[in-house]
Structure 1
Amino acid sequence: MGIAGRNTPGLRAALIAMTLGMGGVLPGVLAVVAPTPAAAQQFPAFRQALAEGVAENRELAAFYRENGYQAVWTRAEDAARRTALVSALSRAGEHGLPVARYDLPGLLSAFGSVETERDRGLVEARASMTFLQYARDIHSGVLDPGELIADIVRELPRPDPTQLMTDLIASEPVSFIRNLAPSSPEYARLFRAKRELEQTIANGGWGPQVQAGSLRPGDTGASVVQLRNRLIAMGFMPRVATASYDGQMQRAVQDFQESVAIEADGIAGSATIDAINTAPQERLRSITVALERERWLNIPRGDRHIWVNLTDFVVRIVDFDQVTFETRSVIGARANQTPEFSDQMEYMDINPTWTLPRSIIGEYWAALSSGGANHLNLLDGSGRVVPREYVDFAAYTPSNFPFDVQQPPGPGNALGEVKFMFPNAYAIYLHDTPSRSLFGNRVRAYSHGCVRLADPRDFAYALLARQETDPVTYYHAIQRTGRLTRVPLLEPVPVHLVYRTAYTSVTGQMNYRADIYGRDARLYDALISAGVEVGA
């Protein structure tokens, strides 16, 4: 393609026709005409400008070299591709992306200002750079979370720029660009929830807050009406005229309580009232961060996978987007936070030993060095037990102690009777525990980082059912031996340790959890700094 000289009538006429043909959606977008022989000699100017424009992106520069500097965006036959890109950029804010980063007005102005082949080469480069930035952001996230929070050790599925460009020119552009976003059902549900909540905010929100410390069945009055109206606006009650806290309202309160992890007793106590009075703008912030987090996990989840939502204190087995098993959990304390990452669960150890991590030997040092902690063994480099009397504790500190400290299998073992392993660099796994009382607490952040299970036997049965006809009998036959036994999972199961303060049920119902580690607050601030706009 070329432009026949400067300010040609044909170019301007084509521009007007193109703009009108698009219903005014793309004002100023480059209109293109077939090159005249005189314009052909200007092609080197296009190639030179394009090469300059993409020089900072090695992969993109290589792509254009490989394809002989053929245009992707700026020829007559590229109109559908231009339209698809501009349409996607115009909706970037709906996904919680930083609209200003893509500078759509500037891109449109650049297209509309093309008068020379050099101009065209520069706008070609700009369109490709913008496309790659958008594709990266919507596919796998605006942020690089590990640079912000050390405990987010997730490897992002960043798309390859060369492959993106290659696939783009070989595909129907609208569907290709649309499919860059995560295809998970959760992303689609969060996207809808964000759009609906933005509309609610635009229409005035959920109405007046409930002016009461607590309410319970049988109560009447203005505060009950406020509670009723909030529940209706949030979708927990149908439109009714009742002014009393009746059975229907009690059930609605229970449903709401379940959505925010409050004991579902149907009584609107202070915690429930505070949660009901939470502004929709705050919930929108949580959904915006959840969308970003979902982009980081734009990978195959596994038809069966284990979902560990740290903020929820629950471990779930998910089969084809349906929760088929769940159990309460205890996660890392705020001083020993559980990291976020994905891996493959490969085996379980029944009757496990517990080798103390080096980071916590100091907690046992006084007892070890004074002859106590007799439930722990010292092991040399060959795994042999070293008698305590042969060790001069005064010669060592917890940091240079040359022996492993290990607790053998038994009823008091810190890992209980089974642990579930997905070997990783962070020494994180799921396990049983003899400390059962903590599972009764609403907030369960107490461990050194690993995840404790309230129902480890049932969890083991559920995993073994895929490979044993009688998983219960099989499990207990091993457990009764009292010996450490490793049981491989014949089909390793993906396990995802995630942190979601906003997530949906399969029906689309939003659930919200507290930001126990303060991670989402930091991520939200980073998104705002990156240019994401969230409704006020």
Structure 2
Amino acid sequence: MNFIHGNTRRLLMVAGLVLAVGHTPAAAQDAGQTAFRMAVAESALHQDEITAFYRSNGYSAIWVGDAPEHVARRAALINALSSAHLHGLPTGAYVVEGLLALMKNARTPRELGAVEAALSLAFVRYARDVQSGVLHPSEIDDGLVRPVAVRPASEHLSAMLADDDGAYVAQLAPRSSQYRALMKQKLVLQELIRHGGWGPTVPDGKYERGASGAGVLKLRDRLVAMGFMKPTASPVYDDAMVAAVQAFQRAHGLEPDGVAGQGTVAEINRSPADRLKSVIVALERERWLPADRGERHVLVNQADFSAKIVDHGRVTFQTRAVIGKNTHDRRSPEFSDQMEHMVINPSWHVPRSIITKEYLPKLRANPNAVRHLEITDRRGRRVDRGAVDFNQFSANSFPFAMRQPPGQSNALGLVKFMFPNKYNIYLHDTPQKSLFAREVRAFSHGCIRLAQPFEFAYALLARQEEDPKAFFHRILNTGKETKVDLDQPVPVHLIYRTAYIGPKGDVQYRRDVYGRDAKIWDALQKAGVVLPDVQG
């Protein structure tokens, strides 16, 4: 509100002239109302939703007037627009100075109508930006298939018209604890940048226990500046530094071996400005998510290579995950859906794209290739490989399906978790357990592989089975493909977050393995988002 206090009361009260028409002759009053309405309609000419709203309510003013509610709404809006940078929004988009000038200079009903329309236009844009995001995800990357709920302008305007104290404006931003914590981290980073950041970077190299020299000193000083170790005069890579490096590695998704190798040094040398970009992108991403995530939901953070079950805001189960390989046709998409069932002892019905791109060339060279897969016709009957000339088929004309029966070596492992979607993405077990030991785990065709799929199943079944482990293994031991419905579907959110706040309030950063956040940041910059207090 300091921004408002710096202006005169007349600045906020000037629109009260509209209500003064009641003290003029009827003819003049009617003329004034007509001029006001025409100005509103003309000023919002190309904004059909806004003009329709005003037509439907007889051009009742939201902002222009000298009643307490008009003053409160104007103050709340101008305060929100002038504070938009706190949310990482493009502050220049709301032309606050221009709005203030319009309000200050408005005298006639026509000018006041222009003020009314201008404030509504700015309000609707701000409301959508802060609630649903500045960008349209699908326009940024084809893996961002998440639809974003955008409230109609009429709903925002109606809510504001019914609001007597301007509180609605303050309720527009996401209410999640993650969003609030990210906003705090944004302020922390901005303050850090203003005071010079984390100091000199660390020279390239490999640093480990017992090492010394100038590089070790710079590593020590940077870890101290980052808050991962207490100040010390020791010039040696000692136990304290090992512990500090491990803490840094855990906070950045690196293998916590206590050795500052090439990957760890690269992350240590990332600037506060780079981290600030990640936080601003994370705020935008948070605005894209559904406001209601579900009291119980599954959260897969692709950048963290993890899958979690969250109950009432608390992580109750977590496991490592493998995501899609970093190629155009394999990257895991981002969207939300409802997990409806699991399949124990699943068959793998090979996706058409994999059949034609990977297996058809092998079958052309050798009809006995990939013998672990059954080839079936349209009726599901098994095809005799020896009776088929696979060279006659192209990717478009190949008439068969392929299936891998249940078993230990099945590509889906022994259980899969289904939330039916047009992208054919689901969570599943895998026989390739060694991949979970890797630091970067992007190897699949797009589906999410789980390191602890059985335990994940027990956690899901715990709400509907007295002994979920025994229930699961009783079915597993039959070796038969069995569908198990979840009594209560569980929302699943496939996200990608390179900056997020951990359960203990600790900030966590991850590498941009798909390069998606870099694209989002570029798009935010083009939309007018800037790094505050960052030169160059």
Same fold (TM over 0.5): yes
Which residue in 1 is equivalent to 2:504? 507
For residue 134 of structure 2, give the secondary structure of its aligned residue in structure 1: coil
> Which of 154, 157, 162 is equivalent to 2:149?
157
1:364 to 359, 382, 399: 359
Matched, 1:74 2:64: yes
Q: SS of 2:340's equivalent?
A: strand
Instruction: State how far apart, in whole Å, the 2-side matches of 1:467 and 1:509 are.
Output: 34
* 1:262-300 alpha-carbon deviations (Å, 9 max, x no partner): 221223333322221211111111111111111111421
Report the secondary structure of 2:249's partner residue.
helix
State the alpha-carbon separation in 2 of the partners of residues 21 and 404 from structure 1. 67
Report the residue type matching 1:409 in the other structure.
Answer: P
Aligned with residue 24 of structure 2, among 37, 53, 60: 37
Tell me the equivalent position of 2:447. Answer: 450
CA distance in 1, matches of 2:9, 2:409: 70
Structure-2 separation of matches of 1:228 and 1:377: 58
Match of 1:275 in 2: 267
Residue-by-residue CA offset, 1:296-346 (whole Å, 9 max, x unaligned):
114211121111111111111122222221111111111211111010111
Question: Are 2:335 and 1:341 equivalent residues in the alignment?
Answer: yes
| Residues 482-493 of structure 1 aligned to structure 2 (within 5 Å) | 482-493=479-490
Tell me, which stretches of 5 or more residues in structure 2 are unaligned? none
Residue aligning to 2:457: 460
Contact 2:344–2:475 at 8 Å: present in 1 too? yes
Please give the alpha-carbon distance, in whole angstroms, between the structure 1 residues aligned to 2:3 and 2:411. 72
1:113 aligned partner: 105
Q: Distance in 2 between matches of 1:269 and 1:20?
A: 48
2:78 is aligned with 1:83 = no
Distance 1:125 1:20, change over 3 A: closer
Question: CA 1:436–1:79 in 2, change beyond 3 Å: closer, same or farther?
Answer: same
Q: Is the 8 A contact 1:376 1:408 kept in 2?
A: yes
Q: How far 1:42 sits from its partner (Å)? A: 1.3
Q: Find the counterpart in structure 1 of residue 417 from structure 2.
A: 420
Q: CA deviation at 1:149?
A: 0.8
Give SS of 1:80's match. Answer: helix
Write out per-residue CA displacement over residues 54-92 of structure 1, whole angstroms, 9 at most, x where no aligned residue.
232222122111211011111112111000000000110
Q: Which residue of 2 is the match for residue 5 of structure 1?
A: none
Question: 2 CA distance for matches of 1:254 and 1:366?
Answer: 46
Counterpart residue identity of residue 64, structure 2: T
What is the Cα deviation at residue 21 of structure 1?
8.7
Task: Classify the secondary structure of the residue corresponding to 2:423.
Answer: coil
The change in CA–CA distance for 1:339 and 1:523 in structure 2 (over 3 A counts) is: same
Percent identity, please.
Answer: 48
More deviation, 342-351/317-326: 317-326
Give the corresponding residue for 1:311: 303
8 Å CA contact retained: 1:64, 1:70: yes
> How many Å apart are 1:235 and its aligned residue?
2.5
Q: 1:422 to 1:415 in 2, by over 3 A?
A: same
How many residue pairs get matched? 519
In structure 1, C-alpha distance between the alignment counterparts of 2:264 and 2:349, rounded to whole Å: 42
Kept after mapping to 1: 8 A contact 2:13/2:71: no
> Alpha carbons of 1:211 and 1:376: their partners in 2 closer, same or farther (altered >3 Å)?
closer
Q: CA RMSD in A?
A: 2.2
Q: Does 1:24 align with 2:7?
A: yes
CA 241–173 in structure 1, closer or farther in 2 if over 3 Å, else same: farther
Q: Distance in 2 between matches of 1:298 and 1:405?
A: 37
| Deviation digits for residues 402-426 of structure 1 (CA, Å, limit 9, x no counterpart) | 2221111122211111111000010
Whole-angstrom distance in 2 between the partners of 1:284 and 1:72? 37
Deviation at 1:532, TM superposition (A): 0.3
Change in CA separation of 1:91 and 1:242 when aligned onto 2, cut-off 3 Å: farther
Aligned pair 1:294/2:277, yes or no? Answer: no
**Contact map agreement 1:140 1:298 (CA 8 A) in 2:** no
Q: Do the aligned partners of residues 498 and 98 (structure 1) sit closer, same or farther apart at CA in structure 2, a change above 3 Å counting?
A: same
Matched, 1:62 2:52: yes
Q: Is the 8 A contact 2:343 2:483 kept in 1?
A: yes
Q: Unaligned regions of 5+ residues in structure 1, if any?
A: 1-18
